[in-house]
Amino acid sequence: MNGAGNGTPLLDARGITKRFGGLAAVASVDLTIREGEILGVIGPNGAGKTTFVNCITGLDKPTSGTIRFRGKDITRMPSHAIGRLGISRTFQVVRPLTHLTVRDNVAMGAMFGARGKERTVSQARDRAEEVLHRVGLEHRIDHAAADLTISELKRLELARALATDAALLFLDEVMAGLNSTEIVGAMELLRRINRGGVTLFVIEHVMKAIMGISDRVVVLHDGKKIAEGTPQEVVDRPEVAAAYLGERFARRAQVVGKPERVKVQGTLVKAAPPVVEEPLLEVRALSSGYGEVPVLWDVSLEIRKGEVVALVGANGAGKTTLLCTLSQLVKPRSGSISFAGRDLTRARPEEIVRAGIVQVPQGRRLFAGLTVKENLLQGVYLRRDRRQIEEDLESVFELLPRLEERANQLAGRLSGGEQQMCALGRGLMSRPRLLLIDELSLGLAPLVVDHLLDLISRINQRGTAVLLVEQDVQAALEHAHRGYVLETGRMVQSGPAAELLDDPRIRRAYLGM
Amino acid sequence: MARAVLLAVVLAALLLVPSLVSPYTLLTYTSALCLALMAQGWNLIGGYTGYAAFGNVAFVGIGAYTTGLLMLSRWHVPFVPALFAAALVSALLATVIGIPVLRLKGHYFAIATLGVAEAFREIASAWDDLTNGATGIDLPVRSDSRFFYYVALALVVGGIVITARLERSKLGYGWVAIREDQDAARMLGIDTTVFKVAAFALSAAFAACAGGIIAYQDIHVAPDDFFKIEYTLQMIIACIIGGTGTVWGPPVGAAVYQLLSTYVWSHFLELHPTVLGVLIILFVVFLPRGLMDLFRRMAAVARGGRFGSDVFLANVRASRLE
């Protein structure tokens, strides 16, 4: 470990709560950042990490709690005033000033920046040069920011924050989208910045990186702080593994290698063996991403007819991006997608649906103002055959009787589990041959999840293939024939679900160590 | 060097225009210059700061009324001081309006400014004691079209100099930061409210100058002639044609717009708005970054560089809807 700081609190946040409507995105979090340290912050999606930083930096006002910086209360300060006290940050999605040069981008930070250190435009441009040397971007100084690669853009964003002379930097996923060599470089850079006297608060999904550079790690989950300590202490905490992998898998992973194994609990409907060995979906060397940011590299995947395939991997690994690329909501950059012998690499989203691939999106995305029945019928608006539609509706209601009971109720009034059923039902109405399900259990109680997983098996038994993305690794693998593991945008492993269940590498893919 | 020569030639030509064309044709040139002034103003808030203001016509009207009323007042303020006073009044009003309205973002800001412009038109129509209501006010006559041309030209040149200086100042840097990412700008320590209000106030001052010139030239100011949405649209279109957020875009765009409009008017009398509309759509689709971007690329090719057609086409594609 590097200079672990001298222990003096630099920033002290007490009882920070941020509510959006009824939901507490951050729930009374106490957190102290010590002068000179690198504090890592991890937590699954929706844990409240970015919201917490927004509260500290004044972009969101906390519902309650107090924040002190060097003893001074900054809770209600506007963000530009907080910035001028010597606190800066980067943003999860890089937004460089694309029309300006690299130098002007960084000069922007140096010009305004911390109080008492403002510079004139020309001084700021000199300072920019100096900072660009530090982050290793000096060779790009006169290029337009638009010409930079993603890894360079991340460094540019960092340079802009550094140029403000901030004493405390909040870095929100500066390593997302970088390849493993670049990550090593970024880790070294952060260490160097820290040794230069800047305290760092680092949010990162790349576990290897955060565990490698942090003096201390804080874990947020569902808006609460669930653990705090050295990287090793934190990883060994069972509740941390549970937050990432789901309770059951975490317990299982701890006993892997020992003679006695945790038995599969409950009486779950096991997936039927795949009907045919014939491939339905073949994905070869697929790469894609958003704008400048690559997310998937060289991903290959195969789903056979009548098969349930689980896709697991840590947050930010690219699971949702893969589903969206299959649906053509995100365009592939290279590689190929073929479905039932047809090349769909360049197809439009509506052609994908017609071909029989239907996505049940994360967070359900129901039409809250329409009734359950109207929502289900939204799934068939591409179809013209009225009689068939009636039959399909019958068959969805047969599978999901709860939906028939609530057919005329507004979808927005349903419980979380019922909404997920409705989303599944809507997907089924398009008569899919392959259902892509994103985060089935998101925000649902365990009992409801078990019920939904049984439903997936029953849908599968009717002949529909399923690609299942699921946070609860054990549950997903128990209900699948085969599984794939994504790690930072690459397929690192695949195999029969039962084998993957006992593979210690999955735990590593999630926790980095 | 080549640039300086080009500028000198253009300026000399513009100075000679009144001796070369008929007084009637000169009116077209003056309108183009007034449009350039409005566009220069809009460029500060809409182009550099990225706030789609749809109510800048309010300041054209306020400029027209203030200039006229000061000239008609018992002090008989001469035109030029009256014009500057009008710019100041507009800027102050823009500050007062801007503080609440600039808290809005995107469509909400656009609609709010649209509402502000309508409100001022209503005030001008209803406040009989001051504005003489819908009938309007009559200004002293001055039938010297060269005078208006030169005043407008001087202000446009001044506008170019001011914009060029602002672009390299902290204020200009701050505006661009706000346009690109307001939250990031805040975290860099930029007091975004102050910067945005400054842009809005300056843009109002430019619009007021244009309004004052048009008022004195037309010798009559009535609510419906000045508070009309066409002005707002024209200034935005001029900026888009020339290139938003650039020094030269607004004046170049205003000239091209006036040229197109005059040409289309004389050749397609019936279909004038339709043809003009189609031309504007073509501009927006194929030159989303405006003529200045095209010129810059052509100059790069002339110097032996690349046109950068990949970036150019990416811009074109990005401007299209899904």
Q: Taking the domain A279-511, which CATH number applies?
A: 3.40.50.300
Q: Which residue is closest to A144 within chain B, CA to CA?
A: B311
Helix (H, G, I), strand (E, B) or coil at A411: helix
Confidence at A3, pLDDT banded by 50, 70, 90: very low
Q: Do domains A9-231 and A279-511 have the same CATH topology?
A: yes
Q: Is B168 on the interface with A (CB under 8 A)?
A: yes
| Residue B173 pLDDT exceeds 50 | yes
B174, B176, B189 member nearest A83 (Cβ) = B189
Confidence at A145, pLDDT banded by 50, 70, 90: confident
Using a pLDDT cut of 90, give the percent of chain B over it: 67
Q: Is B312 on the interface with A (CB under 8 A)?
A: no
Chain A closest CA to B297's CA: distance in Å?
Answer: 14
Chain B contact set for A108 (CB, 8 A) = 173, 176-177, 188
- Report CB contact under 8 Å: B189, A112: yes
Q: Which residue is closest to B245 within chain A, CA to CA?
A: A99
Q: Which residues pair with A32 in a beta bridge?
A: A12
- Report CB contact under 8 Å: A79, B184: no
Contact B217, B139 (CB under 8 A): no
Q: Which residue is closest to B318 within chain A, CA to CA?
A: A291
- Report CB contact under 8 Å: B183, A79: yes
- pLDDT tens string A36-52: 999 999 887 668 888 89
Measure CA of the first residue to CA of the last residue in chain B; give whole Å. 44
- pLDDT tens string A223-259: 899 999 999 888 888 888 777 777 666 666 665 433 3
Chain A closest CA to B309's CA: distance in Å?
Answer: 14
- pLDDT tens string A302-340: 999 889 999 988 777 889 899 999 999 999 999 999 999
Domain boundaries, chain B: 24-232
Torsion angles phi and psi, residue A128, rounded to 5: -60, -40
- pLDDT tens string B286-320: 888 889 988 888 888 888 877 777 767 766 666 55
Chain A contact set for B170 (CB, 8 A) = 111-112, 120-121
Domain boundaries, chain A: 9-231, 279-511
- Report CB contact under 8 Å: A104, B173: yes
Helix (H, G, I), strand (E, B) or coil at A401: helix
pLDDT at A263: 36
A58, A120, A164 member nearest B188 (Cβ) = A164
Chain B closest CA to A160's CA: distance in Å?
Answer: 8
Average pLDDT value for residue range B215-235: 93
Residue to test with chain B: of A53, A57, A60, A79, most B Cβ within 10 A: A79
| Residue B61 pLDDT exceeds 90 | yes
- Report CB contact under 8 Å: A111, B170: yes
At the topology level, CATH places domain A9-231 in Rossmann fold (3.40.50)
Q: Is B192 on the interface with A (CB under 8 A)?
A: yes
Task: List Cβ<8 Å contacts ≥24 apart for A175-182.
Answer: A175/A204, A175/A205, A175/A206, A175/A209, A176/A92, A176/A204, A176/A205, A176/A206, A176/A293, A176/A316, A177/A150, A177/A151, A177/A289, A177/A293, A177/A294, A177/A295, A178/A150, A178/A151, A178/A154, A178/A206, A179/A151, A179/A297, A180/A488, A182/A151
- Report CB contact under 8 Å: B189, A121: no
Torsion angles phi and psi, residue A48, rounded to 5: 105, 15
Q: CA–CA separation, A162 vs A110, rounded Å?
A: 8
